Chains A and B, each alone.
Chain A
Amino acid sequence: MPSDQDSPAKTSFPRIRPAGVDGFLVSFGDKLSEPANRAALAFRDAVERETIAGVEEASTSLVSVYLRIDPVSVGHQVIANGLSRLLERADWYAAELPANRKFWRIPTVFGTELAPQLDEAAKMAGMTPDAALAMLSSARVRVQTIGFAPGMPYLGLLPEAWDIPRQSGLTPKVPVGALAVAIRQFVLFGVESPTGWRHVGQTAFRSFQPEAETPFPLRPGDEVVFESVSREAFEAMKTDPTGGAVSEAIK
């Protein structure tokens, strides 16, 4: 899929800009694209490895890297120079995906009263509910970033048909484990939340397991299929925080 048209114009990206007094934002694009997402993930990993003076923490959004900094100890310009030098060292848009990725299969009930917006979303995507279920439950999507709530993944990209907008009004509340869709992405809710995304599936997966050895099971770069299961199978998995999910290393 990467093509010249997908690559953000090098004249404007990547950009380094202050984000508040104690942060910088390094942006690799202004819309979601596969190369920009890879660039953000790879650049953040590099910042973690390199230790740039004044940088205290790095995290990604879909196409950018946020750096929490200590500008009182090390000035903005010095930190920006350090980031610039690292940016120039590689073609981040062509970077490999993170190492040690996993492939997850997460059991999901699509539709029913557990996930009441499947029919509506299918209609927006121009297909029958059955076709939507078949497509969504077989799509192998990648964790593009973790954010909003602890461990909560944004996953994509779904096929073109799923480039549907968020709804104008908010759904007052979706439960933990809700799988929702918009703009060719899934989000898998880690907390009960209001949302503009359409609730098409329900899992028993908890993206944040504070007491577990691995409190944040999903990592950027991991791949996921939300496999369709029956309501009965789902009920049996509800007490397991992993919600019946299984994972294997991607080699």
Chain B
Amino acid sequence: MSRVLRVLEAGPGVTVQDLGRPGYLSVGLSRGGAVDRLAILEGAALLGQGPLATLEMAGYGGSFEAGEDMRIALAGAPMDARIDGEALQWNACYLLRAGTRLSIRGVRSGSYGYLGLGGGIETPEVLGARSAHLAAGLGRRVEEGDVLPVGTDPHLERHGLGLAVEDRFTGGPVRFVPGPQTEFFAEEEIARFCDTAFRRDPKASRMAVRLNPEGSGFASAAGLSVLSEVIVPGDIQITGDGAPYVLLAECQTTGGYPRIGSVLPSDLPKVAQAPVGAEVRFQFVRLEEALAIETRARAEHDRLAGKVAPRIRDPHEMRDLLGYQLIGGVTAGRDEES
């Protein structure tokens, strides 16, 4: 018995992530951390703990085995998850018993799923966080055979809970504000940008998501002679061929491409989670409006813990109950996972 999570199999994009390392911009290290920060907060709410280190799973999870009983929380992009073959709901927390096998397969929508653990993953901290920052050479991908230490969990009995989550896994409208380089773009070009439907390119990483416009790309008066300037997650860079890249958690800290504006922090998870081919549109909002939106989003984050509630109609937890019902001659239809 030991407080570890054994990795029996892992997809190609599994990393340990928390909320990253703020404070290192001046030395060229971007904050990093989960590309869907909201998922970290949701996982934390489900487990009734802080935003501890979690597994981020791009597109596909893996198979895991607990060294001793531990709680898990499933958040972010919904994936096909089972414990010893028994299907699990997403946006929920469960008890993973020692020796049982958790398997998490492909995403059903969205791009990044998150596996949180009661007590959090306790790999060593580097520069104040556990997040892998692959672009900076910090940490590495999680691989088959890894044994991840897990922290102690004071709330082992608290599971069987779920959280109702608004869909942010299918693209859609994304709000952005103007920035210091918006003036490089002609008004007609900005208007056309807001009228254009984009589709998420297969090329995406924790650094940025490329969006392909329907119709021609976008150009600025500044061309490619812009002085390198600070860039941050959310910035919309227009590259040489006119397609926008929305920068994510692991972006570089300076860049020379002109930026048409910045996506609101509370809409950034929607960009990161947009699956390949999903339609994304940009809506221009004024700074005052954006601040009101962010203020509401912050309040929502504070309310997450209060929205966690016992799950209903969950086959995994109903296993024993079903047994009794069958004995009584009553058949119960298994709910399809939605």
Contacts and interface: CB of A to CB of B under 8 A. Distances in A.
B265 A147 contact: no
Interface stretch (B25-33, B63-71, B273-281): B25-33
B25 A57 contact: yes
Interface stretch (A24-32, A120-128, A222-230): A24-32
Contacts of B136: 149-150, 191, 208
A6 to B, nearest CB: 15
B86 to A, nearest CB: 41
Nearest to B27: A216
Interface in A182-220: 190-191, 207-208, 210, 215-216
B331 interface: no
A76 B292 CA distance: 12
Nearest to A21: B290
Interface residues of A, number: 45
B26 A151 contact: no
B92 to A, nearest CB: 29
Nearest to A22: B265
A184 B138 CA distance: 31
Given A154-B228, A191-B137, A21 B26 contact: no
A64 B227 CA distance: 10
B22 interface: yes
A202 B27 CA distance: 22
B291 interface: yes
Interface secondary structure of A, over-half rule: loop
Interface residues of B, number: 39
B22 A56 contact: yes
A44 interface: yes
A20 B177 contact: yes
Nearest to B25: A59
Nearest to B299: A72
Contact of B28 (A17, A63, A216): A216
A224 B224 CA distance: 28
A137 interface: no
B123 interface: no
Given A25-B180, A76-B287, A210-B127, A20 B232 contact: yes
A72 B287 contact: no
B135 interface: yes
B230 A147 contact: yes
Contacts of A22: 265, 294
Contacts of A72: 291, 294-295, 298
Contact of A21 (B27, B252, B253, B264): B264
A220 to B, nearest CB: 8
Nearest to B29: A150
B28 A151 contact: yes
Q: Which of B24, B25, B178, B265 has the most CB of A within 10 A?
A: B25
Contact of A19 (B22, B26, B180, B228): B180
A181 interface: no
A18 B177 contact: yes
B23 interface: yes
B229 interface: yes
A56 B23 CA distance: 8
A210 B224 CA distance: 33
Interface in B136-183: 136-138, 177-180
A50 B230 CA distance: 22
A21 B296 CA distance: 14
Nearest to B263: A20
Interface string A24-60: 0101001110000000000010000000000011111
A251 B290 CA distance: 48
Contacts of B229: 25, 61, 64
Contacts of A31: 227
Given A19-B180, A31-B227, A146 B26 contact: yes
B262 A21 contact: yes
Nearest to B23: A57
A244 interface: no
A62 B227 contact: yes
A218 to B, nearest CB: 9
Given A25-B230, A30-B227, A216-B27, A68 B22 contact: yes
B25 A21 contact: no
29 contacts: A19-B179, A19-B180, A20-B177, A20-B262, A21-B262, A21-B287, A21-B290, A21-B291, A25-B180, A57-B23, A58-B25, A58-B26, A61-B228, A61-B229, A66-B230, A68-B232, A71-B291, A72-B291, A76-B287, A146-B27, A147-B230, A147-B254, A148-B254, A148-B255, A149-B253, A151-B28, A190-B28, A191-B135, A210-B137
Interface of B: 22-29, 126-127, 135-138, 177-180, 224, 227-230, 232, 234-235, 252-255, 262, 264-265, 287, 290-291, 294-295, 298
Given A62-B227, A154-B228, 9 more contacts: A20-B232, A20-B262, A21-B264, A22-B265, A57-B22, A76-B287, A147-B252, A150-B136, A207-B28
